[in-house]
Amino acid sequence: MLLTRASPTFLPSTSAASPSPQQAAPPPTSQTFGRRQHRRGGGLVSVSSPVVGQRSGARRSVMTAAGAVPAAKLEDADALIDSVETFIFDCDGVIWKGDKLIDGVPETLDMLRSKGKRLVFVTNNSTKSRKQYGKKFETLGLNVNEEEIFASSFAAAAYLQSIDFPKDKKVYVIGEDGILKELELAGFQHLGGPSDGDKKIELKPGFYMEHDKDVGAVVVGFDRYFNYYKVQYGTLCIRENPGCLFIATNRDAVTHLTDAQEWAGGGSMVGAILGSTKQEPLVVGKPSTFMMDYLAKKFGITTSQICMVGDRLDTDILFGQNGGCKTLLVLSGVTSVEMLQSPDNSIQPDFYTNQISDFLTLKAATV
């Protein structure tokens, strides 16, 4: 591991080893709404790369697929709503798909605010800054404050701040404008990004590609301008600059660029750099607990009073479980009920439902 400047609070996990059942934390003595009385078995969920801020004590233990405790279908929305103070929502597949708002979202958010619930929106999509996401919410007719939005582009800059990344070092960005804007706001020098999208390499005998020796971190996120130049430049920085960090905003396999189909996600760009460097990235987006720790500290939230709502098992639900939150899977995005209930799936949320507007209909049904 090349990370040498990380603070004790956010040191990444360097092992995916699972403790034995004898080492698992004992079950709580009483059961509260939405929380399993046991910890779903003795083994930890295996993740394929170090995740920044991983707290082994807070991770939800999950049994093998054959013995996983199945998620309950949400039937009493009021009980879940009343059991927490804060709802963290993923965006893509939960609030919108592409640029299309999912039905019932405005009314649902208004209802939760009327009950005094804090709402936070966390997305692994790094193409926009928090300010840019604020404009998207506004365009869709949603009244969301910039301080309530946390994108993985912001997480990358916040992580560098948390480890006191030297201001005389530079960050090479394989990604889009959102990462650049957040790095600028944090006061970090950067290069790369969309401006390298048109650059090409002329492979001729004796060609030697130069790179900036002052690059101390390579940040990789979703990039529609991804090319071989960026792969080679990022690879050279990570392999040849002593101590250079390899940071991934996320490793999502797919994303919703439109509401018509799924598109290759940021994990495909991260995978290319992983393949050429043979180094695992530090992941700052979901399911890393870095953003959860940041939010808990910023708002003074107790994680047991949070419900994480998302459409992805391996990012959103695992993010909530890693942070010790209640979890609700919605089927309006990537995950289908067949995928959830598949014998091969070991990640089970506390509850699942079709979409977040079920908070309104299920509430009415229980009156």
Upstream peptide bond of 194 is cis (omega within 30 degrees of 0) = no
- How many C-beta atoms lie closer than 10 Å to residue 141's C-beta? 9
Q: What is the pLDDT of residues 282-304, one digit of tens each?
A: 999 999 999 999 999 999 999 99
Query: If pLDDT is split at 50, 70 and 90, which confidence band does 139 have?
Result: very high
Rounded (5°) CA angle 308-295-133: 80
pLDDT band at 99 (very low <50, low <70, confident <90, very high): confident
Domain-embedded: residue 103:
yes
Alpha helix (H) residue ranges in the chain: 77-82, 105-114, 130-139, 152-162, 177-186, 228-240, 266-277, 290-299, 318-322, 337-340, 358-365
Number of domains, the chain: 2
Q: Are residues 166 and 207 in the same domain?
A: yes
Pick the catalytic residue from 85, 146, 182, 280.
85
325/120 Cα distance (integer angstroms): 14
Active site residue 210: no
Q: What's the token pair of residue 106?
A: 């405005």
Between 44 and 128, residue with greater pLDDT: 128
The answer to whether residue 76 sits within a structural domain is no
191 assigned to some structural domain: yes
Task: Please give the C-alpha separations between residue 125 and each of 160, 240, 257, 265, 367, in angstroms, as whole numbers.
Answer: 18, 29, 10, 9, 38
Same-domain pairing of 229 and 113: no
Q: Are residues 170 and 280 in the same domain?
A: yes
The CATH number assigned to the domain holding 271 equals 3.40.50.1000
Task: Indicate whether this model's pTM tops 0.85.
Answer: no
Could you tell me how many residues make up the chain? 367
For 88, list phi and psi in degrees, rounded to 5.
Answer: -105, 125
pLDDT of residue 247: 98
Average pLDDT, the chain: 84
DSSP annotation string for 38-68: S-SSSPPPP-SS-BTT--GGGSPP---GGGP
157 and 279 housed in the same domain: yes
- Is residue 247 within 8 A of residue 219, CB to CB? The reply is yes
Chain centre distance of CA 291: 8
Q: Extract the tokens encoding 288.
A: 């890393």
Boundary (domain end) residue, out of 285, 303, 337: 285
Of 149, 288, 316, 285, give the one whose Cα is nearest residue 221: 285
What local confidence, expressed as pLDDT, does residue 258 receive? Answer: 78
Residue 119: per-residue pLDDT: 98
What is the Cα–Cα distance from 58 to 251, expressed in whole angstroms? 21
Is 244 found in the same domain as 160?
Answer: yes
> Rounded distance, CA 361 to CA 367, Å?
10
Is 28 a member of any domain? no
Q: Is residue 96 part of a domain?
A: yes
Residue 156 · residue 185 · CB < 8 Å: no
- Is 284:291 a contact under the CB 8 Å cutoff? yes
Same domain, 201 and 294: no
pLDDT tens-digit profile of 331-352? Answer: 999 899 999 999 999 999 999 9
Domain boundary among 231, 265, 285: 285
Judgement on whether residues 175 and 120 belong to the same structural domain of the protein? no
Q: pLDDT tens-digit profile of 149-207?
A: 999 999 999 999 999 999 999 999 999 999 999 999 999 999 999 999 999 998 899 99
Q: What is the pLDDT of residue 63?
A: 38
- pLDDT surpassing 90 at residue 307: yes
Let me know if 195 is exposed, middle or buried by CB neighbors in 10 A (0-12, 13-18, 19+): exposed
Is the four-CA dihedral 107, 250, 220, 160 of positive or negative sign? positive
Which residues make Cβ contacts (< 8 Å) with residue 83, sequence separation at least 6? 32, 33, 34, 307, 326
Residue for token pair 């963290």: 88
| Residue span of the structural domain in which 220 resides | 153-285
Q: Is there a single domain that holds both residue 160 and residue 180? A: yes
Q: For residue 26, tell me if it sits in a domain.
A: no
Do 103 and 208 share a domain, yes or no? no
Write out the DSSP string of 221-272. ---TT--HHHHHHHHHHHHHSTT-EEEES---SEE-SSSSS-EE-HHHHHHH
Residues 232 and 325 in one domain: no
Instruction: Check residue 323 and give its pLDDT.
Output: 95
**Which pLDDT does position 367 carry in this prediction?**
46
Q: Are residues 309 and 273 in the same domain?
A: no
269, 285, 301 — which closes off a domain? 285
| Percentage of residues in the chain having pLDDT higher than 70 | 80
> Model confidence over 18-45: pLDDT tens digits?
333 333 333 333 334 444 433 333 333 3
In angstroms, the Cα distances linking 229 to 29, 40, 202, 212, 326 are 56, 45, 10, 14, 43
In a domain, 165, yes or no: yes
Q: Does 339 fall in a domain? A: yes
Model confidence at 8: pLDDT above 60: no
Kindly state whether residues 323 and 299 are assigned to the same domain.
yes
Per residue in 38-80, pLDDT tens?
A: 333 333 333 345 666 554 444 343 333 445 689 999 999 999 9
